[in-house]
Amino acid sequence: MAPEATGAAQSTVKIRLAAGILALNRLTMTLQNKRMPVTDLKMRGDAGGTSIELGFDCPEDSARRYAVLLENMEDVEELHFAATASEGRNEGPVDYEGRRFRSVENSETGEVGPGTVFGYRQDGDVVSATYEGGGVRFGTLIATVDGEGKLDARYGHVNASGGLMTGECRSTPEVLPDGRVRLHEEWRWTSGDRSCGRSVVEEIGD
C-alpha cells in the first residue's frame, strides 16, 4: 500500500453513466487499466442510465486528476467530485443521488399527486431534483441537506393549468426496511393562497 493510502475512501466521485452494459464495461476497464485506487463502489441503475459512486483512496489532487479523466469519457453524462469531510462537506446518512420518488400522500391544497415523479441528485450538501407528472407539467427543487439527512428545500413548478407556483419545504427521511427512503414533508406555498400542508413521497423500487 502506498504511504499516503489509508485503506478508506478519502475523496468521492459521483458519475451518471449512459445506459447499457458496454458503457459499464468501458468504465470498469478504464478503472483497471489506469490502476485507479478505488476502495468503495456503489451503483444504482434505471432505464435512463447508471449512477455510480466511487471512493478513491489517494490524495485529493490525484483523485481530481482521475475525475477529469473519467469526465472526458464518452459514456459519462455527468460527474461530480465530492470534497472530503475534513473540508466541511456534509456526508449524511442518506445519499439522495440517483433516487426516484413518487408522491403517496398530500394535503388538499398540494398539487403533487401519485402521478408525480421526482428524480434526485446530490453533490455534497447540495441536493437538487426535477419533477413532473400528475398535476405538474415540470418542476425543479434545490435544497441543502444536514447531518441527519433532512432537507431544507425551495421549489417551483408549472402546474397543469399553466400557473407558475413556488414554495418551500422541510423533509425528514425515513429509511425503510428494504433500504428505500420515505420523505415526510412539511411545505408552504410562497405563491397562490400561501397555504401550508404535509406530504409523503416514497422511493420507487427497482
Model pLDDT for residues 79-96, shown as the tens digit of each residue: 988 755 444 334 457 899
> In the prediction, which pLDDT does 3 show?
43
In three-state secondary structure terms, 199 is strand
Instruction: Give yes or no for a contact between 115 and 133, defined as CB atoms under 8 angstroms apart.
Output: yes
Domain limits of the chain?
Answer: 11-87, 100-203
Specify the higher pLDDT residue, 34 or 166: 166
Task: Supply φ then ψ for residue 58, to 5 degrees.
Answer: -165, 165
Q: Which residues pair with 158 in a beta bridge?
A: 138, 164
Q: Which of 98, 13, 1 is nearest to 55 (CA)?
A: 13
What dotted CATH number matches 100-203?
2.40.128.30
* CA angle (23 as vertex; 21, 26 as ends), nearest 5: 110
HEC string for 131-148: EEECCEEEEEEEEEECCC
Instruction: Give yes or no for a contact between 14 and 60, defined as CB atoms under 8 angstroms apart.
Output: no
Average pLDDT of the chain, as a whole number: 87
Q: Which of 101, 103, 107 is nearest to 198 (CA)?
A: 107
Q: Which residues pair with 139 in a beta bridge?
A: 131, 157
Tell me the whole-structure pTM to 2 decimals: 0.58
Same fold, 11-87 and 100-203: no
> In the prediction, which pLDDT does 48 show?
73
Q: Which CATH number fits domain 11-87: 3.40.720.10, 3.20.20.10, 1.10.167.10, 3.30.70.260?
A: 3.30.70.260
Instruction: Give yes or no for a contact between 105 and 197, defined as CB atoms under 8 angstroms apart.
Output: no
User: Is the model's pLDDT at 8 over the cut of 80?
Assistant: no
In three-state secondary structure terms, 86 is helix
Model pLDDT for residues 143-189, shown as the tens digit of each residue: 999 988 999 999 999 999 999 999 999 999 998 888 899 999 999 99
Residue ranges of alpha helices (H) inside the chain are: 21-33, 60-71
> In the prediction, which pLDDT does 1 show?
41
Instruction: Give yes or no for a contact between 170 and 141, defined as CB atoms under 8 angstroms apart.
Output: no
Percent of the chain with pLDDT over 70: 89
| Edge-to-edge strand ranges of the sheet holding 11-17 | 38-46, 49-56, 11-17, 76-82
